[in-house]
């Protein structure tokens, strides 16, 4: 696939538009930074510094072999410029391993960065617990006492492995094994950080849990591994945010999120990923949804150079339900290749996919989705809606829907629309006193409203602010 066309002054314009948004890089002062590149020695050093059990080291080395055999995918976005030999696969920010529940124990410069992102205030006001990852390691984790008393576990994944080894090992890599795809194998070999969440049977956590992932170093790779287990009848919402400063060279983020929704549970996972425009964002997100359970993904992609991400639900129990609501915004030099997968393997299962994408300048957005209904998944129902909005003459959008139906009683609907920014709407709003850029931003927010309204208020406000930043420079 050819490189995306670039505006003649794309780099200059991009730097001007996002200077304030990503102006938070810190001086690099780390306890350990691996050599560049991915090989057996790097994997062994990661496991050594973490003090892991022997089974995890063997798992990592096996995953490395799988990645080497598989090779990179030859479909999707252009990854030819992603050079592993120029990436640091593990950066440990501090000597002490593990997280703290006190902000005072975090280095001041890191605390200041998270303060600028609003994490302490959000924790105090609206969160049941919060985790913060800096480079390759979680540096802060806190769960409010009321939820801890009810048996809720919310730890970083490294601590979860140490403190709950049997529970962790029982579910780890059962939803996304290394054999699944190349980037899942790479993550399995070098994973570090992420969240480990367990909500006991019948427990309802009525305020969100949140983790925030920050890349600071240049040429770094971040490979968090998040494992979430909702016991029967549990209900909770997990929110994740991501960001990174802008550098001239590329960084690499490849997380794996595994979610187990046991019988009758209700789990929601929301992420607003605001990576800078030098980050390759290649993520595997999947949930196993058992009988009567419900899984909802809300996926926002407003940054990165390249995104390839397809939240998935494997509906394996009778009456299981899955839904994905996604937003993608592609500006100059960006390719957002996002979508969803719904696999129906049980009777009376149901699913819904709503995808909204926006392209401007020389950006490109793609919807890539799969609905698969196996023989025996009687009365399965699925509906897909893909809406794409082009803001100008140079932006692009693609749709790659795959629908495979093996069950005669299934009901499947698919609808796709591509539209351009409406001059009449802009004229009407300008006649009511709005400037042209304000009118365009208002139309874009209205286009995204069906997805944005599903976010908690604080995060919907943040999404609107990010949209406004992305819209800067769209006029003239």
Query: Mean pLDDT for the chain?
Result: 81
Distance from C-alpha of 234 to C-alpha of 199, rounded to nearest angstrom? 6
pLDDT, one tens digit per residue, over 295-310 is: 999 988 887 899 999 9
Kindly state whether residue 108 falls inside one of the protein's structural domains.
yes
287 with 436, same domain: the answer is no
Kindly state whether residue 404 falls inside one of the protein's structural domains.
no
pLDDT given for residue 116 in this prediction: 53
Kindly state whether residue 301 falls inside one of the protein's structural domains.
yes
- Does the pLDDT at position 37 exceed 60? yes
Using the 3D structure, point to which of 309, 334, 358 is the last residue of a domain.
309
pLDDT, one tens digit per residue, over 431-464 is: 988 888 788 878 888 888 877 777 766 666 667 7
Residue 141 or 174, more confident:
174
Strand partners, 338: 309, 367
Q: How many CB atoms lie within 10 A of CB 461?
A: 12
Integer angstrom CA distances of residue 170 from 174, 189, 190, 442: 8, 18, 20, 48
Using the 3D structure, point to which of 291, 309, 327 is the last residue of a domain.
309
Residue 12 backbone dihedrals phi, psi, to 5 degrees: -65, -45
Kindly state whether residue 152 falls inside one of the protein's structural domains.
yes
Task: Say whether 173 sits in a helix, a strand or coil.
Answer: coil
Kindly state whether residue 393 falls inside one of the protein's structural domains.
no
Residue 205 backbone dihedrals phi, psi, to 5 degrees: -95, 110
Closest CA relative to residue 332, chosen from 3, 2, 12, 14: 14
Q: Which domain holds residue 445?
A: 422-476
Using the 3D structure, point to which of 278, 309, 340 is the last residue of a domain.
309
Strand partners, 197: 154, 228
Residue 39 tokens read as 């090989």
- Strands 137-143 vs 129-134: parallel, antiparallel or unpaired: antiparallel
Kindly state whether residue 339 falls inside one of the protein's structural domains.
no
pTM score: 0.84
Residue 438 backbone dihedrals phi, psi, to 5 degrees: -65, -40
pLDDT interval class at 11 (50, 70, 90): very low
37 with 173, same domain: the answer is yes
Distance from C-alpha of 288 to C-alpha of 313, rounded to nearest angstrom? 6
- Does the pLDDT at position 407 exceed 70? yes
pLDDT interval class at 212 (50, 70, 90): confident
The total number of structural domains that make up the chain: 2
Write the CB contacts of 8 (distance below 8 Å, at least 6 apart in sequence): none
Q: Indicate the burial class of 84 (C-beta count within 10 angstroms; 0-12, 13-18, 19 or more).
A: middle
pLDDT, one tens digit per residue, over 59-117 is: 999 999 999 999 898 888 889 888 888 888 887 655 444 445 555 555 555 555 555 54
Strand partners, 229: 198, 260
Write the CB contacts of 259 (distance below 8 Å, at least 6 apart in sequence): 175, 228, 229, 230, 267, 269, 286, 287, 288, 295
Kindly state whether residue 411 falls inside one of the protein's structural domains.
no
Residue 104 or 466, more confident:
466
277 with 148, same domain: the answer is yes
Q: If you average pLDDT over residues 182-203, what whole number do you get? A: 94
- Does the pLDDT at position 239 exceed 80? yes
Kindly state whether residue 359 falls inside one of the protein's structural domains.
no
């Amino acid at each position: 696939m050819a490189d995306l066309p670039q505006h003649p002054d794309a780099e200059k314009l991009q730097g001007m538009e996002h200077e304030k948004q990503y102006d938070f890089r810190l001086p690099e002062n780390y306890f350990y930074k691996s050599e560049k590149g991915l090989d057996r020695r790097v994997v062994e050093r990661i496991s050594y510094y973490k003090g892991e059990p022997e089974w995890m080291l063997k798992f990592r080395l096996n995953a490395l072999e799988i990645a080497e055999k598989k090779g990179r995918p030859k479909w999707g976005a252009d990854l030819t410029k992603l050079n592993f030999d120029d990436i640091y696969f593990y950066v440990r920010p501090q000597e002490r391993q593990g997280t703290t529940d006190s902000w005072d124990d975090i280095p001041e410069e890191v605390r200041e960065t998270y303060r600028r992102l609003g994490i302490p205030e959000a924790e105090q006001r609206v969160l049941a617990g919060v985790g913060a990852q800096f480079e390759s390691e979680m540096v802060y984790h806190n769960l409010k006492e009321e939820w801890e008393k009810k048996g809720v576990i919310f730890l970083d994944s490294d601590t979860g492995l140490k403190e709950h080894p049997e529970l962790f090992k029982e579910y780890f890599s059962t939803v996304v094994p290394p054999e699944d795809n190349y980037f899942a194998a790479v993550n399995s070999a070098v994973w570090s950080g992420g969240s480990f969440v367990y909500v006991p049977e019948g427990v309802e956590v009525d305020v969100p849990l949140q983790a925030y992932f920050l890349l600071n170093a240049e040429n770094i790779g971040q490979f968090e591994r998040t494992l979430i287990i909702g016991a029967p009848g549990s209900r909770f919402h997990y929110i994740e945010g991501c960001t990174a400063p802008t550098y001239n060279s590329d960084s690499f983020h490849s997380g794996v999120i595994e979610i187990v929704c046991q019988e009758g549970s209700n789990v929601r996972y929301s992420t607003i990923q605001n990576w800078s425009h030098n980050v390759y964002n290649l993520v595997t997100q999947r949930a196993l949804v058992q009988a009567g359970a419900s899984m909802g993904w809300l996926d926002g992609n407003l940054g990165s150079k390249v995104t390839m991400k397809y939240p998935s639900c494997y509906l394996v129990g009778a009456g299981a339900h899955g839904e994905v609501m996604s937003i993608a915004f592609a500006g100059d030099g960006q390719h957002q290749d996002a979508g969803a997968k719904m696999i129906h393997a049980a009777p009376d299962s149901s699913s819904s996919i709503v995808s909204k994408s926006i392209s401007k300048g020389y950006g490109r957005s793609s919807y890539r989705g799969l609905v698969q209904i196996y023989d025996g998944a009687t009365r399965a129902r699925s509906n897909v809606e893909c809406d794409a909005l082009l803001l100008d003459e140079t932006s692009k959008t693609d749709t790659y829907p795959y629908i495979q139906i093996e069950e005669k009683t299934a009901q499947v609907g698919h609808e796709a629309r591509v539209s351009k920014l409406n001059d009449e709407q802009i004229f009407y709003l300008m006649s009511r006193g709005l400037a042209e850029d304000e009118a365009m931003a208002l139309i874009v927010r209205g286009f995204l409203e069906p997805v944005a309204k599903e976010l908690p208020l604080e995060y919907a406000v943040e999404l609107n602010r990010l949209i406004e930043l992305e819209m800067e420079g769209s006029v003239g």
